[in-house]
Structures are given as structure tokens and as C-alpha cells.
Amino acid sequence: MSSTLKSLRALADPTRLRIVALLEREALSVNELQEIMRMGQSRISTHLGLLQEADLLESRREGKRAFYKWRSDADTPAREFIQLAVRGAKEESHYADDQLNLKRVLARRQQQAQVYFNQVAGRFDRSYGPGRSWQAFGHLLLRILPPIVVADLGSGEGLLSELLARRCKKVIAVDNSEKMVAFGTTKAKKNGLKNLEFRLGNLQSPPIDPNSVDLVILSQALHHAEDPAKAIAAAHSILKPGGHLMLLDLLQHNFEEARQLYGDRWLGFAESDLHRWLEVAGFKKIEISVVASEDQPPHFKTVLGSGVKSV
């Protein structure tokens, strides 16, 4: 078969077009392509193999990982095919999300501290050490908190708010349930937490003055929001310049029963959607990553997102 026919056949698939477009900027590993495209390793490896057989890609190894990129020595026809493939990929519905996920993956390469943390966290549960626990680590990290004003949006009964109030200057807990607000208020008084205030309100328009808090937390609350993008924009508005948003929520899943069991409006979120909503709201220094995965079905995964309001 001629090289032209090999190239045409190799590029006659939407998934391979996506891969070629992603490799336009940077060499990527199979794992990185998995994370960006949300596909299985074997499927991606098969497509990469077909592109290599057509002499459109080359690879290099770094330790146990192989990185793929366009052939640096590709002839003119091959380069023309690749450019045409990128043009085709840009017309596909996945292109915008792929580019956002690519941006996030490349940014994380630079975060060596995060890589180290993941390695440490991975070892934590594999070997026993007397006195080592996530509970103890949590208390240690709480002691590091500076005297800041925090808004805990979608606080529920206020467990996180109560912990934060023991160290922060002030914590404002917002929830749309009168019962939750009453319960939290009573418990805060009982525990002598005068700097913890519960307020009735929703995520889209929290009852907090603009530019008044240092940190906004949305912990497993966004998937209950009527309009997640509007909730993120509201969080931006109440932050002081230079303030931070921290967001914990579920990665997009297919467990429909969550709507009935937990009252969820949304079945988690794609990382690309979270990134886009943060950008549109005006946040900078955006980071989105999966930080936890449950061993038991339905294997929920937790996403941590963060952003900073411009000064």
C-alpha cells in the first residue's frame, strides 16, 4: 500500500484526528492522552499504533513512559496530511474540551510539588505507620491556616465550617435549608464558636457582600446547584481581589441513582467544564485535578479545582 493511502486510512477516524490535533503543541504520553480524552488505555494505544504504522508519529521513552509526537522528519505530503487532520479535528465537538484538558495537563507537568504529593499519597495507604492518619494530617493543615474570612457555600450542617472556624478569623456558612441553618447555628453556639455564622441562601446568590471574603469553598455542593456556572461567578464576586476559590466535587459519572439517593441535580462534572466556568467567571491560576477515587462501585472520583481572583 502506498504511503498516501496509509496516511489517508490512518486519518479516516475521528479519534485519531483528535490525537493528531492534541500532539500539535506537545509530545504526550498514553496516560496523558487518557486523561485528556477520557478513553481507555488499550483504545488509545491501538490508535497510536495505527498512526505510527502510517509514519505520522514518532515516540521516545522516558523511564517507563513513552511520549508521542508528530514525526520531526515527516516528508511534505505527510505534513500536509497532518495539517489537514488538525483542521478536521477543529470541526469536531470534542475539540474545545480536548484543548482545555490539554492546557490543564501541561500546566500540571510544571507542578512538581503536586506530583510529589500524589506519590506520597499513593504510598500512604500501602504501609502502616503508628500515628499516621488523614485525620491527624487534617488537624496539622488546619493549624497552618492564617486568620482569614471564609465563605463555605452549600455548607450543609457545617462540619467543615466548624473545623475552619477553630482557626480562621470568621467563617460564613451558607445553605438553602432552614433546618440545616438552624442546626448549624445551634451547634456553633453550643461549641462557643462566635466567629461562625450560618446564613440562609443559595449558591447562585449567596447573602454575602461583594469583595468581602478571602476564601470561598464549594465542597460537594456544586452538583446540587441549579446553575453551576452562575454559582462559580457568584463565588468570584464575593471574593476580595487576590482571594481564592477551592472547589471539591464529583467527576462526571453515570450513576443515575444519585438523583434519587442524594438529591443530586448533576451527575458530576467534566474537568473541562469546570475549567471553562472558572475562566469565564474571571479566575486566574486555575488548577483542576482528580484527587481521590473510591474503590467500591460506583467508583466515584473527586475533583479538586482552584482559582484566584485577580488583584
* CB hemisphere CA count around 100 (13 angstroms): 21
Using only C-alpha atoms, the chain has a radius of gyration, in whole angstroms, of 23
Angle at 29 between CA 27 and CA 32, to 5 degrees: 105
Q: What is each CA distance from 134 to 118, 122, 137, 253, in whole angstroms?
A: 14, 13, 5, 26
What's the confidence (pLDDT) of residue 2? 64
What's the confidence (pLDDT) of residue 3? 75
Residue 44 lies in domain: 3-94
300 with 159, same domain: the answer is yes
What's the confidence (pLDDT) of residue 111? 63
116 with 265, same domain: the answer is yes
What's the confidence (pLDDT) of residue 180? 93
107 lies in some domain: no
pLDDT tens per residue across all 311 residues of the chain: 567 788 888 888 999 999 999 998 789 999 999 989 989 899 999 999 999 988 889 888 877 788 999 887 777 777 888 888 888 889 888 899 999 999 888 887 766 545 555 665 656 666 566 776 777 888 888 888 899 999 999 999 899 999 999 999 999 999 999 999 999 999 999 999 999 999 999 999 999 999 999 999 999 999 999 999 999 999 999 999 999 999 999 999 999 999 988 889 999 999 999 999 999 999 999 999 888 888 888 999 999 999 999 99
What's the confidence (pLDDT) of residue 209? 98
What's the confidence (pLDDT) of residue 124? 61
Angle at 95 between CA 88 and CA 30, to 5 degrees: 100
178 with 71, same domain: the answer is no
Sheet holding 213-219, edge to edge: 196-200, 170-175, 149-153, 213-219, 239-250, 301-309, 283-293
CATH number of the structural domain spanning residue 163? 3.40.50.150
160 lies in some domain: yes
What's the confidence (pLDDT) of residue 128? 61
14 with 70, same domain: the answer is yes
119 with 267, same domain: the answer is yes
Count structural domains, the chain.
2
Q: Is 114 helix (H, G, I), strand (E, B) or coil?
A: helix
Go through the chain and tell me how many residues it has. Answer: 311
120 lies in some domain: yes
pTM: 0.69
66 with 141, same domain: the answer is no
179 with 271, same domain: the answer is yes
164 with 247, same domain: the answer is yes
DSSP letter, residue 155: -
DSSP letter, residue 129: -
